[in-house]
Structure 1
Amino acid sequence: MGNLDRRSFLKGGVVAAGAAAFAGALSACAPSAPQETGAADETLATTGEAWYGSPADPATFDVVDTVDCEVLVCGLGAGGITAAAAAAEKGMNVIAIEKGAGHGSIKSDIGVIGTRIDTVEVDPLQMLNEHTRYANGWCDPRVTRVWATESGATFDWISDSIAEFGATPYFEYDVDEGTHGVWPVYPTDHGFHYTYTEEEQAKADAAVAESGDPAAAQGILPQVGDYMLKKAEEWGADLRYETPFVQLAQDENGKVTGAYAKIGDGYVLFNASKGVILATGGYEANPDLLAELNPDAAAIGGVSMTQAGCEGEGIKAGIWAGGMKDEIPTLMTFARAAVAPDAELGYPYQGMTCWIGDQPFLKVNLDGARVCCETAPYDYPLHVAALQPEYKLASIWDSDYQNQIVAFHTIGCSRINMSDTVDAAGVPTGEGLSFPACDMMIGAAMEAGIVQQADTIEELAEKLRVDPAGLTATVERYNELAAKGVDEDFGKPAKDLLPLSKPPYFGAFFGGHVLCTLDGLRIDEHMRVLNTERKPIEGLYAVGNCSGSMYAGSYPELFIGNANGRTITHARHAVMHIAGEVK
């Protein structure tokens, strides 16, 4: 690529990529906008010795209104939107309460299996067992099986529901050779293309121009979550914003009969005759709680991509009602948080988003030593880094990085080179960040003193505070293995074992994007919250990130969008169980 400098990376940047496309790429692995969380009033949950504290005495609540319904949905993120729409379509009297003034969304990467538009067949039970392997068996495979066997039908239902708005489903089936290192990859990624009016597009373009932020288009151009809520209201759902969930109501036998919510200076008691569905998110936005429950994952964080307000209050409320949380903590995290050589990882986060971080370039510790096979699920090098000095690994690349990224052929929201896949109408799926957007991020990180550039490996090591002799020896060994086409040290595939030989050289330390926690309330295969005896609590369901029983320690990123697909599938299944359609 010739001589490179900061301006080379910044020139054109996102403008060349297209603001709408860049915003869409970012949204694939970004939070799904505000989800309802729990008690906003800290006085309602006195702190006990346990992290989850104690519930307030309902007798102390100034209840100004009592409202009856059949189904109460707490939270309007992906799970709450889906549950509210599914219940309303079935003619149920459903109320959905949301803490914020607006609702969340359903992310653009939707991991599902067996839709009617799929052109590649995937064995759902093979997926089930591979997913169980990711969790080392610390899960309930029956919960995962609901996603594996029902997600395609859920996606088709959503597709039919929003077709009138001009939303067209697509299937991203490109998974390269079907492996990422030794890890199998399956085509699960789905999404929607949208047709916007000139007025909608002009409004979005004006917002981007005014703010300079391509992501500004996200909040203006309606997507699947917005359309599903329109249908939910059309079908009769009662959506109540700025109504934060506080805690659950139970009868003398422990059955959940409804919930208390805050409104103004008082409280509303919602009586739900058929069930309460918690869709309240995880606890990732509470850095102290994250550090307490998952200290190693908290220590590798570099950039917060969390939901404001997702502080575990819904999980706490479920525990107060007799439920239990997954014991093994799980953080969804990707190695895209670049930090300066002298910066510490962990909260307060000091990093900058730089998409190149989870590409399988050479990764070294502060001694300059290579410590792992870089071709791995995108959070694995971060986990390896947690055992290294300062919890850090640096990525090293050279001026041929774009050609090497094309060869790496990563998928999902890790993909930088745009996918060639098209939908039935010949429209590209749009998966991939794009090189102009990637270069913009690298350039901004160079300006901030985070990404380092040098003409020699020794000089790069000094700028990174890495041992020069160690890094020089490592690069020499790495290039020797690349010439052989065999990684004798860690087994990296030959296609990813590419030399570092074209200066200038670049390097940066990467921590994790702190996205969301996945160790929520334990549930059964019908999304019913389980008590400490592993029996369902009558009347209580949990979906999305406030639910558990499916992940343990690591998020299976190579099943693209599976957390999102799980959320919508489980939400619809919970409603089907309430309706008596599944038993």
Structure 2
Amino acid sequence: MSERTRDQGSGSWDLEVDVVVLGMGAAGCAAAIEAHESGASVVLLEKLSGGLEGGNTRVSGGAWFRTHDVEGAEAYLNSLSGGYPLPPAVVSTWARETAQLTEWVESALGATTALVGEAVNGKGRGIPSEFPGLEGSDSYGGMVAVDGQLGRARLLNALFAGLETRAIDVRLATPARRLVQDPESRAVTGVLAETPDGGTLRVRARGGVVLATGGFEGNVEMVRDYLRLPQNLPWGSPYNTGDGHKMAQKVGADLWHMDNMMSIEGFAVPGYQSGFYGRFFFSNGFIFVDSLGKRCDDELPSIGHGHALRHGAYEHSPVRRVHAIFDEATRLAGPVSPNGDVLAVGWNVLVEGYEWSADNSVEVDKGWLHKGETLDELAASLEVDPEALHRTVARWNASCEAGEDEQFGRDPDTLVALGDGPYYAFTSAPMLAWTNGGPRRDEHCRVLDPFGDVIDGLYAAGSVSSTYSWARDSGMHIADALAFGRVAGRTASASTQGASS
């Protein structure tokens, strides 16, 4: 058996601890802190260097949802799961653990928290549910965040402070490459990682290894195979490349809901690995057309974090490549890709620090946005049928004049006609906010093989193995990562008891 997979044996390890955590986002930090609080010795390995570490948590809103009704939350998650039911024990654990998060962030991290957007509906509930028609949605009590503010890595910084306060051993620029298994029991006993200087670090995990390595948005092959999208365009970290998925599969893990995701409108530009969010916050004067130049959808459906109400059910949205067409008035109304003052989320906004121009003129000059003085010129730039585009715009403008979108039923209050040229466009990929599927796990975060048996010593939490089999509401992604990160840390720590030294 090769060194990559065999148990290293006593005396051949470079480091021995109770729990090894892979990944430094919300799930990994929570797992490391919880394992430490449970009395375990911990090392956290992160593949990226300082300033890039933290996965999507670094560039997310960093908020978790609030509920004071655990039974209602269970009903809501079951409703959100649609035709893809989750194990009841996972649902119960999720509801119980997520209800404790605000108290944990305040007590364990010493952070100040508050409800986001408390004045939105004047009832102290903050941001309302995105799926109000589903059973259990009345248990949703809005989102809570550090200082009550979204974005700018507030949660991640609080988690990092929690690691530092506890003097938890953190190794940056130390990517895990392989899991080590015992040759007889097949239990995971450690990790082979690469050191910053290119050497090998052999770490024994007496209690187990926690995978918290994020999703696979940055892996073009996995995105094509599992999500059926032709382009891997992440909104968050471009370094989420499915590393944990591959390591788990190598040791026999089963997978669950690998086809689930959150996508948004976004587009690629030269020189940037992640995409720019394409959303018109300042004007409704735009339409989506397909590769034939025909309008193809309601551009503003009832939508909640990647799922839109279409044909009587919640479906993934967006899932197709479209051209977003707009006119001069919309160009001048404000940036088509929001800056941090509007939405402090996304890799290009927070890590790359790009400031989109107020009138989009800089990006037009760079060629990031298509421009045509006439519809014919724009059609040529987009390589669509000019006659079809003319007909599409004429039909749209007639609908706006009539106050009714007879094609797709777009809200009459959002119907804004396109004026005379020049005209502009960007092409949405679409863009991936995150993926949800990964190693199948139970309510204790123990990774399972295809026969439902536990792979001893291996745990998973966060986007590498998200709970959500279908839809999820605002703040549920971070809540899942924190909640099951804590569960994984506790379970792995408990497994240390009785382990040989």
Q: Could you tell me the TM-score, scaled by structure 2's length?
A: 0.75
Query: Residue 31 of structure 1 aligns with which residue?
Result: none
Among 364, 370, 376, the alignment partner of 2:289 is: 364
**1:405–1:375 CA distance, 2 compared to 1 (3 A):** farther
Question: Which residue of the other structure, out of 62, 70, 79, is the alignment partner of 1:110?
Answer: 62
Give 3-state SS (helix, strand or coil) of 2:179's partner: strand
- Does residue 172 of structure 1 match 2:105? no
2:220 to 287, 299, 312: 287
2:483 maps to 1:569: yes
Is 2:204 aligned against 1:271? Answer: yes
Structure 2: which amino acid aligns with 1:160?
Answer: S
User: CA, structure 1 residues 65+122, in 2 after alignment: closer, same or farther (shift >3 Å)?
Assistant: closer
Deviation for aligned residue 1:527: 1.5
RMSD: 4.6
Whether the 8 Å CA contact 2:277–2:338 is kept in 1: the answer is no
Identity %: 24
The aligned residue for residue 41 of structure 1 is: none
Describe the superposition over 1:317-341 as per-residue Cα deviations: whole angstroms up to 9, x where unpaired.
212222112364344432121579x
Per the TM alignment, residue 579 of structure 1 is displaced from its structure 2 partner at its CA by: 5.7
Q: Give the structure 2 partner of residue 249 of structure 1.
A: 180
1:465 CA displacement: 3.2
Q: SS of 1:371's equivalent? A: coil
* Contact 1:111-1:566 within 8 A present in 2 as well: no
Instruction: Map 1:67-216; keep pairs closer than 5 Å.
Output: 67-102=15-50, 103-104=53-54, 106-107=57-58, 108-114=60-66, 123-133=72-82, 136-137=83-84, 139-140=86-87, 142-143=89-90, 146-163=93-110, 167-172=112-117, 174=120, 188-193=142-147
Which digits, 9 at most, give the CA deviation of each residue in 1:534-563, with x for residues without a partner?
Answer: 2322322101122155235xx65xx23432
Question: Any residues of structure 2 matched to 1:339-418 within 5 Å, and which?
Answer: 353=276, 355-356=278-279, 361-376=286-301, 377=303, 392-401=321-330
Task: Name the SS for the 1:246 alignment partner.
Answer: strand
Per the alignment, residue 404 of structure 2 pairs with 486
Q: What's 2:123 paired with?
A: none
Contact preservation (8 Å) 2:217, 2:240? yes
Distance 1:489 1:466, change over 3 A: same
> In structure 2, what is the equivalent of residue 506 of structure 1?
424
| Secondary structure in structure 2 of the residue aligned to 1:275 | strand
Could you tell me which of 150, 157, 162 is aligned with 1:226? 157
**Distance between the aligned counterparts of 2:358 and 2:71, measured in 1?**
37
CA distance in 2, matches of 1:437, 1:448: 14
SS of the residue corresponding to residue 441 of structure 2 reads: coil
In the alignment, is the contact (CA less than 8 A) between 1:338 and 1:508 conserved in 2?
A: no
**Any conservation in 2 of the 1:112–1:152 contact (CA below 8 Å)?**
no
3-state SS, counterpart of residue 213 of structure 2: coil
Q: Deviations over 1:184-220 (max 9, x none)?
A: 996644332499xxxxxxxxxxxxxxxxxxx9xx7xx
What is the match of residue 4 of structure 1? none
AA aligned to 1:371 is C
Note the alpha carbon deviations across 1:54-103, whole angstroms, 9 max, x for none.
Answer: x9343799985343322221222221111111222333222222233434
Partner SS state of residue 458, structure 2 = strand
Is the 8 Å Cα contact of residues 263 and 432 (structure 2) preserved in structure 1? yes
Question: For the Cα contact (< 8 Å) 2:207–2:494, is it kept in 1?
Answer: no
Give the whole-Å Cα distance in 2 for the aligned partners of 1:443 and 1:160.
47
Query: 8 Å contact 1:95–1:240 — kept in the other structure?
Result: yes
Deviation at 1:128, TM superposition (A): 0.8
Whole-angstrom distance in 2 between the partners of 1:113 and 1:352: 26
Say which is worse superposed, 68-77 or 329-338, in terms of deviation. 329-338
- C-alpha contact (below 8 Å) 1:65/1:267 kept by paired residues: no
Query: Which ranges in structure 1 are unaligned for 5 or more consecutive residues?
Result: 1-43, 46-54, 196-214, 341-347, 407-412, 420-428
Deviations 1:436-474 (A, max 9, x none): 965448333311334234565455434433323322222
Inter-partner Cα distance in structure 2 for 1:268 and 1:383 = 41
Q: Which structure: greater helix fraction?
A: 1
Does residue 314 (structure 1) correspond to residue 232 (structure 2)? The answer is no
> Structure 2: which 5+ residue stretches go unaligned?
121-125, 309-314, 496-501
What's the offset of the Cα at 1:533?
0.8
163 and 400 in structure 1: CA distance in 2 versus 1, 3 angstrom threshold = farther
* CA–CA distance in structure 2, aligned partners of residues 374 and 276 of structure 1: 44
* SS of aligned partner of 1:110: coil
Amino acid at match of 1:544: G
Q: Is the 8 A contact 1:306 1:516 kept in 2?
A: yes
What aligned pairs does 1:448-467 form with structure 2 within 5 A after superposition?
Answer: 448-454=366-372, 457-467=375-385
Distance, in Å, in 2 between the alignment partners of 1:157 and 1:84 is 14
Distance apart, 1:278 and its partner CA: 1.0
Residue 474 (structure 2) aligns with: 560
The Cα shift of 1:154 comes to 1.6
Matched position secondary structure for 2:360: helix
Three-state SS of the structure 1 residue aligned to 2:417 is: coil
Structure 1 residues 372, 63: closer, same or farther in 2, change over 3 A? farther
Alpha-carbon shift at residue 575 of structure 1 (Å): 2.6
Give 1:334's match in structure 2, choosing from 236, 253, 264.
Answer: 264
Query: What's the offset of the Cα at 1:268?
Result: 4.3
- Look up the equivalent residue of 2:300 and give its one-letter code: T
